[in-house]
Chain A
């Protein structure tokens, strides 16, 4: 029998689902048509990962549409509002870099957890995420090493989201990956891009004192409830609706 580490599948699935929803909000609003398409495609990859992960833990629709805010286990980083385009790119850079490191490790996981399907999903998803990171890196370079206005906005975005990055590296129950150990390679990878983009690494705390690691325990930031309301209202108003 396959043993699925349910806690980990839900946490990783919620990360992917919530970020997919946020990126989907750009549809029709991105600065250029190509970005409209790019962000929607990245969202689609993440939605595919979320569906696979949440299905390991039960019914995907039940998980996505019928849980309350406090039951979601995503990190707070992915629920942060899109902000300006630089904020969305900073969120992508931070998260895709983390996801690529995490999935790479998970893909090689042996033991019974491998049979739960997590390793197979990770081996597939890591290739998709490589493109997400590439997209974020190229935009960070372009905005950072661009005009004074784009440089300033990119720096502001990196600084504003920094406080949500510490949560990515908390140990996770059932996940056969040493998440705290990923922090060093993550810092090195981000630092390299930031330097090339002529930007400065944020130096504030990487977590908020009142909510360290809160997302994984179901404590979320203010805007998350509104995002969920939009995501869930159709399914709740018309249970079982399909097209």
Chain B
């Protein structure tokens, strides 16, 4: 039905606009973790999210935020489920999302190779503050599992880098 589709699309936009609890500059849509918003019946919606990392502690907060937003849109019965397949990749972060990360001071992830995982050294990470490519790795794990800590050798500022996954 056309009306259902339009409503679903509207709800999907509402879900997609929810900010990420850890990185509030990004929306869930820009992060690429909304897999589906399905109207199951009148006032009943199921949302499929995919976690960035298996142990991502933000997923429960995301589910609560999504439920609250959909209730504000008149959906009393919301179920949020997580799907693992296909696995999330940093390639799912939108161009706008990458731009916002850099603006926020987090170096965005580089494109992954097949299978993801560490990108070989040589492909450097650009400093989000001064744009220099002369940056070094300080720690493979930073404030969250999805980020590494680096330092810019030009402007000497430390910065987070969203690791390729």
Give min CB distance, A54 to chain B, whole Å: 12
Give min CB distance, A182 to chain B, whole Å: 17
A34 touches B145 (CB 8 A): no
A34 touches B138 (CB 8 A): yes
Give min CB distance, A139 to chain B, whole Å: 10
**How many angstroms between the C-alpha atoms of A190 and B18 in the bound complex?**
44
Give min CB distance, A55 to chain B, whole Å: 11
A93 within 8 A of B: no
B141 touches A41 (CB 8 A): yes
B139 touches A46 (CB 8 A): no
B115 touches A127 (CB 8 A): yes
Chain A residues with Cβ below 8 Å from B149 are: 34
Chain A residues with Cβ below 8 Å from B55 are: 44-49, 51
Chain A residues with Cβ below 8 Å from B85 are: 119-120, 123-124
Chain A residues with Cβ below 8 Å from B53 are: 44-45, 48, 128
**How many angstroms between the C-alpha atoms of A64 and B118 in the bound complex?**
31
**How many angstroms between the C-alpha atoms of A180 and B57 in the bound complex?**
35
A172 within 8 A of B: no
**How many angstroms between the C-alpha atoms of A41 and B116 in the bound complex?**
18
Residues 21-61 of A, flagged 1 when their CB comes within 8 A of B and 0 if not, give 00000000000001101101110111111011000000000
Q: What are the nearest 6 A-B pairs in CB distance?
A: A48-B55, A130-B117, A48-B54, A120-B85, A34-B139, A38-B141
| Known A124-B87, A124-B88, A128-B145; contact A135-B54, beta-carbon cutoff 8 A | no
A-B contact pairs, 30 of them (CB 8 A): A34-B139, A34-B141, A37-B139, A37-B141, A37-B143, A38-B140, A42-B141, A42-B145, A44-B145, A45-B53, A45-B55, A45-B145, A48-B51, A49-B55, A51-B55, A52-B54, A119-B85, A123-B84, A123-B86, A124-B54, A124-B88, A125-B54, A127-B87, A127-B89, A127-B115, A128-B165, A130-B115, A131-B118, A131-B141, A131-B163
| Among candidates B51, B88, B118, B141, residue contacting A130 with C-beta atoms closer than 8 Å | B118
**How many angstroms between the C-alpha atoms of A53 and B141 in the bound complex?**
24
A44 touches B116 (CB 8 A): no
B7 within 8 A of A: no
A62 within 8 A of B: no
Number of residue pairs spanning A and B whose beta carbons lie under 8 angstroms apart: 83
B84 touches A45 (CB 8 A): no
Q: State which residues 46-95 of A face B: CB under 8 Å.
A: 46-49, 51-52
A134 touches B118 (CB 8 A): yes
**How many angstroms between the C-alpha atoms of A125 and B56 in the bound complex?**
12
B142 within 8 A of A: yes
Q: State which residues 103-142 of B face A: CB under 8 Å.
A: 115-118, 138-142
Give min CB distance, B23 to chain A, whole Å: 16
Give min CB distance, A180 to chain B, whole Å: 24
| Among candidates B51, B86, B87, B140, residue contacting A134 with C-beta atoms closer than 8 Å | B140
Residues 120-149 of A, flagged 1 when their CB comes within 8 A of B and 0 if not, give 110111111011001100100000000000
A117 within 8 A of B: yes
**How many angstroms between the C-alpha atoms of A44 and B146 in the bound complex?**
11
B79 within 8 A of A: no
A120 touches B87 (CB 8 A): yes
